Amino acid sequence: MTNKQTSLFRRKLHERTIKYFFFACAATSIVVLFFIAIFLFHEGVGVFRVVEITDFLSGRRWAPARVQPILGILPMLLGSLFVTVGAMIVAVPLGLSAAVYIAEIAPPKIKNPIKSAIELLAGIPSVVYGFIGLVFLVPWLQETFNLPTGFTALTGSLLLGVMAVPIIASISEDAIYAVPRDFREASYALGATKWQTITRAVLPASISGISAAIILGGMSRVIGETMTVLMVTGNAPIIPDSICSFLRPVRTMTASVALEMGEAAKGGIHYSALFAIGLVLFTITFLLNLIADFILHRYKEAQKR
Amino acid sequence: MSATMLTVKELNFYYSKTQVLRDVNIEIPGNEVTAIIGPSGCGKSSFLKALNRLYEIIPGARVTGEIIYNGGNLLSRDVDVVGLRKEIGMVFQRPNPFPKSIYANVAYGPRLHGVKRKELDRIVEESLRKAGLWDEVKDKLNKSGLDLSGGEQQRLCIARCLAVEPKIILMDEPCSALDPIATAKIEDLIYNLKQDYTVIIVTHNMQQAARVSDKTAVFLTGGKMVEYGETVKIFENPENKIVEDYITGKFG
């Protein structure tokens, strides 16, 4: 080979190596996801030899340590649902208002400090939220509502709600920011005030992005959050069945797994049941992500036209 | 000769430190079409944005001078901008219907200003008729405005503007994104609109200015207005040598 050919060959090899290296990095997450799914399934599926899947999901009692274990996760399923819905009631108005303020109202000088502060909020470890909740929120709620205990679903909802604000705010802000200036100009030129322009032109145009923010950033994060709920919700597997249940202890799916992992014998029914709970959580988050993806995709299509 | 609608006095326009309009003086007659022509960057669009105070939403933009409308200076601080923009509507360069139904697009303005639901249907139909779009869309008022073609979208934007019953319509290169057939339709429309409205149109297309306008103002780079008069005169016998060079295509 001539010199020229050698250097060309080397360059090609070099390019190719780089390409495969980055491919391998990108593929890692898919491989990991795949193995986690397989592992969860493999470890969790054993429980369904003892209990029907429908009974598992709708069973009202959870007593896994008995000789004849009773395996119904409805209390935890509803516990997670209550805490999540409560957290969304807190987080959506706060996060969305913050996003509107940052994207549409704040003068540049105030905008960046607020953005940084909200981002910092996302960086606080969940155990810190739990600790603060334990020390301040639990006693405060107990006194205010005159409750037997301050470890309630509401306590968890309030803390998780605050924790979900940063991500809802930042994804919503992106969605609002992506609304073309044309719409704003058109609205103002028709004699709209700033408030009318925000509520009637900008927010409707970014509604899909905002919904995705709420599903992805809010719900799917909150439902998987473990440490904070474990510390403040009391963890009693009582079925929450009315609005008053917010003022009683609940136990979420995540808290169950974390609490009982240590006491379940490896390979046993209890152990397998906890993995099955993991599988349920995985499925829920997966579905939520799918829905958010679908909404975002439609949104992009609509923006293209 | 129709009555003067707008009198612009010593208008200067700045983006932060850059000056885009210099001492512009112009009297715009009512119920006529006035064209503003000139090369890119001569401040034509900024001029329109001063007339309805839309420059206020652009950070760093400011103006000095006076624009007399209805006996008052519309640039003055105590003018109600919402009311002003109701009377001075605008159609933009790129068709920008909202991602809403055709009906909701036209009804957007009237709804803002608290028009009763019963009257909306009538206003929507009337505005779409005036914009020459009614027959094309009357059976699909609930479809998205974004499903229309470019030319139809622009006529929808004109209908949306007419729905708030303005007196003056500002048009910022309304045909620059359209094909020749759609352009011809809009030009016909502009010609008809001057019976009821005062139209000020910015265009970089000199033939268009010659076709649709009664008066023409020529702006040149640096933001100075160099000549203003009857369109026929500007195109056939301009006083200014630079204007003649510009119109005959020696630069642009």
**Considering CB atoms only, which of B96, B99, B112 is closest to A191?**
B112
The two tokens of residue B101 are 């139904």
d(C-alpha A135, C-alpha A150), whole Å: 11
CATH number for the domain that contains residue A120? 1.10.3720.10
A108 and A237 part of one domain: yes
| Residue A56 belongs to a domain | no
A26 and A127 part of one domain: no
Whether residue A260 contacts residue A202, with contact meaning beta carbons closer than 8 Å, is answered with no
A15 and A107 part of one domain: no
Domain that holds residue A219: 74-304
A12 and A110 part of one domain: no
Q: Which residues in A lie closer than 8 A to residue B52 (C-beta atoms)?
A: 189
pLDDT of the residue at B75: 94
A29 and A118 part of one domain: no
Which ipTM was obtained for this model?
Answer: 0.92
A25 and A153 part of one domain: no
pLDDT of the residue at A302: 62
The domain tally of chain A equals 2
A34 and A156 part of one domain: no
A21 and A128 part of one domain: no
| Residue A62 belongs to a domain | no
Mean pLDDT computed over every residue of chain A = 91
| Residue A111 belongs to a domain | yes
d(C-alpha B128, C-alpha A265), whole Å: 74
Among all residues of chain B, which has the CA nearest to that of A186? B96
State the burial class of residue A267 (Cβ atoms within 10 Å of its Cβ: 0-12, 13-18, 19+).
exposed
Which residue among A12, A33, A49 closes a domain? A49
| Residue A58 belongs to a domain | no
| Residue A157 belongs to a domain | yes
Helix residue spans in chain A (DSSP H): 3-44, 53-58, 74-100, 108-123, 126-132, 138-144, 153-177, 181-189, 194-196, 203-205, 207-212, 221-224, 227-232, 253-260, 269-304
Q: Which residues in A lie closer than 8 A to residue B83 (C-beta atoms)?
A: 191
Residue with tokens 């609002």: A176
A10 and A117 part of one domain: no
Q: Which residues in B lie closer than 8 A to residue A183 (C-beta atoms)?
A: 96, 98-99
Residue range A113-132: mean pLDDT, rounded:
92
pLDDT of the residue at A301: 64
pLDDT of the residue at B204: 87
Phi and psi torsions of A280, nearest 5°? -60, -45
- Chain A residues whose C-beta sits inside 8 Å of any chain B C-beta: 108, 180, 182-193, 196, 200-201, 204-205, 302, 305
A174 and A210 part of one domain: yes
pLDDT of the residue at A303: 58
Whole-angstrom CA distances from A3 to A9, A10, A17, A49, B241 are: 10, 11, 21, 68, 65
* Closest-CA residue to A209 (of A164, A169, A166, A161): A169
d(C-alpha A127, C-alpha B79), whole Å: 55
Q: In what order do the strands lie in the sheet with B224-230?
A: B88-91, B168-172, B198-202, B33-37, B215-220, B224-230
pLDDT of the residue at B221: 80
Residue range A269-287: mean pLDDT, rounded:
94
pLDDT of the residue at A221: 87
**Above 60 in pLDDT, residue A98?**
yes
State the burial class of residue B180 (Cβ atoms within 10 Å of its Cβ: 0-12, 13-18, 19+).
exposed
Contact B98 A186 (CB under 8 A): yes
d(C-alpha A91, C-alpha A159), whole Å: 10
d(C-alpha A163, C-alpha A6), whole Å: 57
Q: Which of B58, B108, B147, B200 to mutate to test the interface with A (most CBs of A within 10 A)?
A: B108
pLDDT of the residue at A217: 79
Residue with tokens 């080397």: A10
| Residue A11 belongs to a domain | yes
Encode pLDDT of A294-305 as tens digits: 888 877 666 554
In tens digits, chain B (252 residues) has pLDDT values of: 468 999 999 999 999 989 999 999 999 999 999 999 988 888 899 999 999 999 999 889 999 999 999 989 999 999 999 999 999 999 999 999 999 999 999 999 999 999 999 899 999 999 999 999 999 999 999 999 999 999 999 999 999 999 999 999 999 999 998 899 999 999 999 999 999 999 999 998 889 999 999 999 999 888 899 999 999 999 998 988 888 888 888 775
A144 and A208 part of one domain: yes
The two tokens of residue A225 are 């959050």
| Residue A139 belongs to a domain | yes
Q: How many other β-carbons are positioned within 10 Å of the β-carbon of residue B101?
A: 18
> What pTM was computed for the model?
0.83
- Chain B residues whose C-beta sits inside 8 Å of any chain A C-beta: 52, 54, 57, 59, 82-86, 89-90, 92, 94, 96-100, 108-109, 111-113, 146-147, 157, 160-161, 164
d(C-alpha A154, C-alpha A130), whole Å: 13
d(C-alpha A122, C-alpha B100), whole Å: 35
Residue range A134-162: mean pLDDT, rounded:
95
Q: Which residues in A lie closer than 8 A to residue B100 (C-beta atoms)?
A: 204
Regarding beta strands B33-37 and B4-15, do their DSSP bridges make them parallel or antiparallel, or are they unpaired? unpaired
d(C-alpha B164, C-alpha B107), whole Å: 9
Contact B57 A184 (CB under 8 A): yes
Question: Domains of chain B by range and CATH?
Answer: 4-247 (3.40.50.300)
pLDDT of the residue at B3: 85
Query: Beta partners for B12?
Result: B64
The two tokens of residue A7 are 């250097």
Whole-angstrom CA distances from A229 to A79, A127, A232, B137 are: 10, 10, 5, 55
**Above 60 in pLDDT, residue A1?**
no
| Residue A24 belongs to a domain | yes
pLDDT of the residue at A278: 95
A169 and A255 part of one domain: yes
Q: At what angle do helices A269-304 and A74-100 cross, to 10 degrees?
A: 30
* Closest-CA residue to B52 (of B202, B241, B224): B202
- Nearest-neighbour CA in chain A from B54: distance (Å): 7
Encode pLDDT of A199-221 as tens digits: 999 999 998 889 988 998 789 88
